[in-house]
Chain A
Amino acid sequence: MKIPYYPGCTLNTVAKQFDTSAREAASIIGFEMKELAQWNCCGATFPLTPDNVIGLTAPAKVLSNARKEGDTLTTLCSVCYNVLKRTNKVIRDNKEKRNVINGFIEEEYDGSVNILHYLEVLRDKVGFDKVKGAVKRPLTGIKAATYYGCMLLRPFEDIGIDNAERPTIFEDLLRALGAEPVEFANKIECCGAHLAMNNEEVVTNLSGKVMTSAVDAGADLIVTTCPLCQFNLEKSQPKVAEADTGYRPVPVVYFTQALGLALGQDIETLGFEKNSSDIMPLLKKKGIA
């Protein structure tokens, strides 16, 4: 199985370990992520006002390029996924906007690509049972906090990957990998997102609440699906630990790194050294590495 794949800017640069671990895991499980021959930035935010049609042209260009390579497109970053999926729906359902957008990008795209998050590929195309069957290094004894954030889930009627208030797709994957998912209060709350640019205080507060609620629930690992969540959590963690001496810092990793680990990939190739939190002490403690 070959699936056209859109990495997006961040996975091509500062989150390279997210990209490489996902490709490697795919090849172990038995499918290939075929990077689009041509792609550009998705715009990194879906325009929240309907009058902003120009903001839809960049993702529309990605989608029309993807259509030339097949009828499905997968992506890993929650924001890319959100922007592409929502834009696709506008193009499919709104003829007037479709014409304007196609006029701008000089294409005839109709919204017929099916956008799947990598988690959906694993659940719906591969099957979590098959993933479980491929596990060589189960994450036994690890209590994992599956941090969804916002963009993977909302708005429900446009995204629909899972129940928007009580999702389980992410926990189901971690369970298949042998880990024990923990239930924590802020798993679908915001990390502070783009406020990283000008409001460190709010980001530290929001990311802090996510991590504190995870650790209070007993987590020894936080798993993410978005490079901005990953960045905000990792950057905030030392400040959270400084402000609250009772806080116990935990490693934060991309879900594909956890996946690769469980599938038995060479630990050296998972790019953990690119994360700013260190997972190795935990792996040693649990007898996994």
Chain B
Amino acid sequence: MKIKLSNSDIQSTEVRRLERISGEDVKRCYQCGNCSGGCPVSYAMEIPPTKVMRFLQLGNIEEVRNSNSMWLCVGCLQCYSRCPQGVSVAAILEGMRQDTLRKGVSRTEVAEVPFPFLKKAPQQAIVCGFRKFVG
């Protein structure tokens, strides 16, 4: 694949904004792959954690936003515990998720949540799910 890079892509203001929201510096990542190795859901992510970091380093936030990765992150912090650079991919993905939700875009609408689930599930799953998926 041919990749065309420009300074303006790499200096992406959107990535800088994400860094402000998440408190992370994407340049710290040196692509060792530990996060993807430890991540329990990387198998189902269209872009696994290590690649998320690479896309952001290259200023391509759109590619990450269009993937399912931020919606699959369970916030388990295995990525962060194992990152030799102290990077939290979890914070990056949560920042992207929040940014989307704050614009009023939901991943799951309240009306879509099955009634039997609402009746039986632990309250914490419902509260947490609403916070993670409903804009």
CB neighbours of A55 from chain B (8 A): 131
Once the chains bind, are B124 and A79 in contact (CB under 8 Å)? yes
Q: Within B25-51, which residues are at the interface with A (CB < 8 Å)?
A: 40-41, 44
B16 within 8 A of A: no
Cα-based distance from A195 to B40 in the complex (angstroms): 12
Cα-based distance from A228 to B132 in the complex (angstroms): 15
Once the chains bind, are B122 and A10 in contact (CB under 8 Å)? yes
Looking at the assembled complex, report how far the CB atom of B111 sits from the nearest CB atom of chain A, in whole angstroms: 13
Query: Contact check: which of B20, B81, B88, B124 meets A44 at CB < 8 Å?
Result: B124
Q: Is the interface of A mostly helix, strand, loop or mixed?
A: loop
Cα-based distance from A173 to B91 in the complex (angstroms): 33
Interface 9-residue window, one of B6-14, B57-65, B113-121: B113-121
Interface 9-residue window, one of A134-142, A186-194, A281-289: A186-194
B76 within 8 A of A: yes
Query: Contact check: which of B77, B124, B131 meets A227 at CB < 8 Å?
Result: B124
Cα-based distance from A194 to B127 in the complex (angstroms): 9
A155 within 8 A of B: yes
Q: What bracket does the count of chain B residues touching chain A fall in? A: 35 or more
Once the chains bind, are A189 and B72 in contact (CB under 8 Å)? no
Q: Looking at A45, A80, A231, which has the most chain B CB atoms within 10 Å of its CB?
A: A45
Cα-based distance from A238 to B46 in the complex (angstroms): 28
CB neighbours of B105 from chain A (8 A): none
Once the chains bind, are A43 and B80 in contact (CB under 8 Å)? no
Once the chains bind, are B91 and A197 in contact (CB under 8 Å)? no
Q: Within A66-93, which residues are at the interface with B (CB < 8 Å)?
A: 77, 79-80
Once the chains bind, are A196 and B94 in contact (CB under 8 Å)? no
Once the chains bind, are B125 and A228 in contact (CB under 8 Å)? yes
Once the chains bind, are A13 and B123 in contact (CB under 8 Å)? yes
Cα-based distance from A205 to B74 in the complex (angstroms): 13
A198 within 8 A of B: yes
Cα-based distance from A13 to B122 in the complex (angstroms): 8
A48 within 8 A of B: yes
CB neighbours of A50 from chain B (8 A): 22-23, 91
Select from chain B the residue with minimum beta-carbon distance to A201.
Answer: B44
Residues 194-214 of chain A, each 1 if its beta carbon lies under 8 Å from chain B, else 0: 111111011001100100000
Cα-based distance from A90 to B44 in the complex (angstroms): 33
Once the chains bind, are A194 and B129 in contact (CB under 8 Å)? yes
Looking at the assembled complex, report how far the CB atom of A15 sits from the nearest CB atom of chain B, in whole angstroms: 6
CB neighbours of B74 from chain A (8 A): 150, 190, 192-195, 206
| Given A154-B81, A197-B108, A206-B40, CB of A231 within 8 Å of CB of B125 | yes
Once the chains bind, are A196 and B125 in contact (CB under 8 Å)? yes
Looking at the assembled complex, report how far the CB atom of B58 sits from the nearest CB atom of chain A, in whole angstroms: 22
Once the chains bind, are B132 and A52 in contact (CB under 8 Å)? no
A14 within 8 A of B: yes
Cα-based distance from A156 to B88 in the complex (angstroms): 13
B55 within 8 A of A: no
Select from chain B the residue with minimum beta-carbon distance to A156.
Answer: B81
Chain A residues within 8 Å of B, Cβ to Cβ:
8-10, 13-15, 41, 43-45, 47-52, 55, 77, 79-80, 150, 154-156, 164-165, 189-190, 192-199, 201-202, 205-206, 209, 227-228, 230-231
Which 5 interchain pairs have the tightest Cβ spacing?
Answer: A197-B129, A44-B127, A9-B123, A48-B94, A190-B76
Kindly list 16 other residue pairs between chains A and B, CB separation below 8 angstroms, not including A14-B121, A190-B76: A44-B131, A45-B75, A49-B21, A49-B95, A55-B131, A77-B124, A79-B128, A154-B78, A190-B40, A197-B108, A197-B125, A197-B129, A197-B133, A202-B44, A206-B74, A230-B122
Mind listing 21 A-B residue pairs with CB under 8 Å? A44-B125, A48-B90, A49-B94, A51-B21, A80-B124, A150-B76, A150-B78, A190-B41, A190-B74, A193-B128, A194-B129, A196-B117, A196-B125, A197-B133, A198-B112, A201-B44, A205-B44, A206-B40, A206-B74, A227-B122, A231-B120
